């Protein structure tokens, strides 16, 4: 009999994560045992552990890998032996795989966003897109825009160095930091991506003034709790095409499952369960 595959998530305030259920149920459906442990560094018993110690602990315990989330996606990079090209270009790691004594960092958020985008917004115009938020999620959505063929991606973030860093790192030369007021940038765009936490539970509000929306704009959100944010609700109310963040959550998990186990996750089954 095969042993239990050990995986998990390192982050802070992650008790609401649906990843344990998604990963464990998919493994069970495929006929093998997998445990997905939450290693919440904001909670006892892991509260005083640091990221490096936690990573070393799970490696030594024989974990196949771990997901990494807020606030560690950037910090973990320096602790790994190798990075995938994509993780390096994005500048963030959400999946670490331990194999043959080495740790490799991957980023599956970009894949997850791209898959969700194509499912919910396939065929929309991508000549000019405005993205609000240039943190970890924003780096992944920007990379997805490169892959999906966006021609010009305008990055808005009140932390100007974050926007500038993302523009400098992103391959393809499609990104620029916003130079005009957001209203003017949106007036010329075909779509808006929210890559800020605004709209999620605990962060109410809208990341851009709903009065700037038009029916011909598409709107995509990375937030998935709730699935319909105030921004998406306002957009749908005037007839915009929209994409929620739920598919991103499912497909980033599916690709991480592939990497942890070597067995491709059944995407439809994982999505249906979510
Ligand atoms: P982060 O803190 O790294 O980055 C957020 C960025 O948004 C910051 O740079 C901040 O300055 C910027 N910002 C805040 N308010 C803004 C505004 N009004 N206009 C423009 N920029 C603004 O956070 P993160 O890790 O990137 O996460 C962002 C959100 O993405 C969270 O809600 C998280 O849950 C979600 N997320 C979803 C998935 C998924 O699978 N669906 C995956 C990753 C992250």
C-beta of 133 in contact with ligand 1 (< 6 A): yes
Q: Does the beta carbon of 248 sit less than 6 angstroms from any atom of ligand 1?
A: yes
Domains and CATH numbers, the chain: 5-107+248-273 (3.40.50.10860), 110-243 (3.40.50.720)
- Token pair, residue 149, equals 């063929």
3-class DSSP assignment, residue 240: coil
For the beta sheet containing 102-106, the strands, ordered from the edge strand earlier in sequence to the opposite edge, are 34-40, 5-11, 65-68, 95-99, 102-106, 82-83
d(CA 267, CA 139): 24
Look at the block and give the residue holding tokens 């003017």: 184
**Other residues' Cβ atoms within 10 Å of the Cβ of residue 33:** 13
DSSP 8-class letter at 231: H
Tens of pLDDT, residue by residue over 60-101, are 999 999 999 999 999 999 999 999 999 999 999 999 999 999
Ligand 1 proximity of 223 Cβ (cutoff 6 Å): yes
Which one of 197, 223, 225, 227 would you pick to mutate in the ligand 1 pocket, going by the greatest count of ligand atoms within 8 A of its CB?
197
Q: Outline where 8-79 has alpha helix (H).
A: 19-30, 51-60
- Cα 221 to averaged position of ligand 1 atoms, centre (Å): 10
The active-site residue out of 5, 10, 73, 131 is: 73
Summarize pLDDT for 214-247 with one digit per residue, the tens.
999 999 999 999 999 999 999 999 999 999 999 9
- From 196, 201, 208, the mutation candidate for ligand 1 (largest count of ligand atoms within 8 A of CB) is 196
What's the rounded Cα separation, in Å, for the pair 154 and 142? 10
In this prediction the ipTM stands at 0.98
Cα separation of 198 and 195, whole Å? 8
138 lines ligand 1 (CB under 6 A): yes
Q: What separation in angstroms does the CA of 193 have from each of 2, 138, 162, 263?
A: 43, 9, 16, 32
């Amino acid at each position: 009999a095969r042993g239990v595959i050990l995986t998990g998530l390192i982050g802070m305030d992650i008790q609401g994560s649906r990843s344990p259920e998604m990963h464990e149920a998919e493994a069970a459906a495929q006929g093998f045992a997998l445990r997905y442990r939450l290693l919440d560094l904001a909670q006892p018993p892991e509260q005083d552990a640091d990221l490096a110690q936690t990573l070393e602990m799970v490696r030594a315990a024989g974990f196949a890998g771990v997901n990494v989330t807020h606030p560690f996606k950037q910090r973990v990079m320096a602790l790994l032996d190798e990075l995938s090209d994509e993780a390096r270009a994005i500048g963030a790691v959400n999946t670490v795989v331990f194999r043959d004594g080495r740790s490799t960092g991957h980023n599956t958020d970009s894949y997850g966003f791209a898959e969700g985008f194509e499912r919910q917004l396939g065929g929309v115009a991508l000549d000019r897109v405005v993205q609000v938020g240039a943190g970890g999620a924003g780096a992944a959505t920007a990379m997805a825009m490169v892959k999906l063929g966006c021609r010009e991606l305008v990055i808005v973030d009140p932390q100007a160095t974050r926007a500038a860093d993302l523009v400098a790192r992103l391959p393809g030369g499609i990104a620029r930091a916003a130079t005009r007021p957001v209203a003017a940038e949106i007036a010329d765009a075909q779509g808006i991506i929210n890559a800020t936490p605004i709209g999620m539970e605990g962060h109410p509000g809208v990341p851009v003034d709903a009065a700037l929306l038009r029916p011909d704009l598409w709107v995509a959100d990375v937030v998935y709790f709730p699935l319909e944010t105030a921004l998406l609700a306002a957009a749908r109310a005037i007839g915009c095409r929209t994409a929620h963040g739920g598919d991103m959550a499912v497909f980033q998990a599916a690709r991480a499952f592939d990497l942890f186990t070597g067995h491709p996750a059944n995407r439809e089954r994982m999505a249906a369960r979510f």
